[in-house]
Amino acid sequence: MIVIYHNPNCSKSRESLEILETSKEDIQIIKYLDETLKVEKLRKIVKLLNIKPIELVRQDETLWKENFQHLEFSDEELIEVMTNYPQLIERPIVINGDKAVIGRPPTKILDIL
């Protein structure tokens, strides 16, 4: 089953979901703004993506710029910030087994189908 961490208000997330829906795969849609991710789950996602937590932060978000960008965070602290402020998480995140990508651009998800 393919999992998409989805924000319906995001055009890239909607485009990624369209790609998945045409793939004939079973899809689990998680609206991560409604279903807040736990720290352990976000840790696993970061590991699957093979990135540093800062690479998952939407650094152009006003919330980030006004409240966090001037501060220093450990990787673990960044994960906690993202779980407390899920709007800072880059989207969409698509996971297929042990593979994961951030769907920017949306066609990037084709790499893991």
The residues annotated with a catalytic role in the active site are 10
Q: Is 102 in contact with 91 (CB distance < 8 Å)? A: yes
30 residue type, one letter: I
Question: What's the rounded Cα separation, in Å, for the pair 44 and 24?
Answer: 26
Question: What's the rounded Cα separation, in Å, for the pair 80 and 88?
Answer: 11
Q: Is 46 in contact with 79 (CB distance < 8 Å)? A: yes
> Pairing mode, if any, of strands 27-31 and 2-6?
parallel
**Residue entry with tokens 């369209």:** 18
